[in-house]
Amino acid sequence: MREADVTGLDMDMVSPRTTRDTLERDVPVIRLENDVELREIYQFGRKLGQGSFGVVYEATHIETQTKWAIKEVCRPAAGSSKVKMLGHEINILKQVNHDCIIHLKEVYDTAKMIYLVTELCAGGELNQLLQRKKVFTEDETRHIIRSLADAVVYLHKRDIVHRDLKLENILVKNSVDDDGRINIKVTDFGLSVQTGGVGIENIMTEACGTLIYMAPEMMSGRGYSQWCDLWSIGVVMYMLLCGEPPFVSRTKTNLLEEIMNKEIFTNKVTNCFESVSTAKNVLTCLLRVEPAYRMSANQLLENPWITGDTNVPAIPSNVLEMMRDHMEEEESKSMLKI
C-alpha cells in the first residue's frame, strides 16, 4: 500500500493543489495493489444507495471500529465523461469543508476500482424520508432549506456550481437531532463545475442534472450560471411542503413549455400553503423563470422566513427589483414636485 500521486490518480482525474482562495484539504489518495487489500482495512456492510456512477456501502474501519460510507466506482475508461465527473467530484470535495456538505476522508485507487470514503449519513437520502412522511412541516422545511442555502452560499463564494441539487443528493445525517430537526449533507458533486466567476465568459451551456429540478435557462440552451442552483432549491422546497414537484414532464421541451405557461400554485396544491404564506412568497422568488429576477442564496439565507425575524420588512429579492423600486420612488418624487 502506498500513497498515490494526488495530482491525478494516474489518469489525470484529480487536479494539483490550487493557489486559489479554496485551498485543498489534505485528503490522502492511496494506491492499493488489489481490491482485497481494502477489505483488510474496512469491513463492508449494507448497500446504502446508488449514485450517478457508483454504489455506496456502509463500512466499518476495522482498526478503529468507526462507521463510514464508501462509494465504489468502476475505473472509467480513459477520456470518458465518467472520468471527468469523478475528477470533478474528488477535486471539489478536497476543497470544501462545511457542516452541510459531505466530508471526504480519503480515496483508494486500485487497478479496477476507485473508492471514496466519506462520512456516514445514517438517515439515508432525503427523498426516502419524504416518501415515508409524505410532506414536511413548515418548520422542518425551513431548517432543511436554511442548511441547503448555507451550503450553496459557501459553494457559490468559491465559484462552485452544483448543477444537480435534488432530494436524492441531499443526505440525512441522522434521522433527527435532539431538537427534532433534520440535519442534511449535500453530496454527489459529479456534475459540479468550478467556474472562473460570474462573468459572461463563464456562462455554461451544457444541459445536465435531473429534469424536474432543471432550471428553465439550462433547458433552453441559451446559457446559464450559478442561479440554476437556486431554481433547484425552489423545486426541493416545493416538494418538501407539497410532496410533489411543481412541474412534471418527460421531455425538456414539454417541461419548459409547462414552466412558461403553468401557474405554480394551482388549486390542487393550495392546501399545502394555507398556513405558509411567507414560504409561498419565497418559492415565488426562487421559481422565477428569468434568473436575473431570481433570489440569490445569500438573499434566501437572510429572508425573514428563514431567520424568523418578523420585524424585518419584506425586501426585493434581487438587484433588478431594487433598481426598479428606486426608479419608481424617484419618479414619484418628481411628480410631487410638478
Q: Which amino acids are annotated catalytic?
A: 164
98 Cα distance to chain centroid? 13
Which residues, 6 or more positions from 120, have their beta carbon under 8 angstroms from its beta carbon?
A: 58, 67, 68, 69
Has 71 been labeled as part of a binding site? yes
| Binding-site residues for ATP | 71
| Binding-site residues | 71
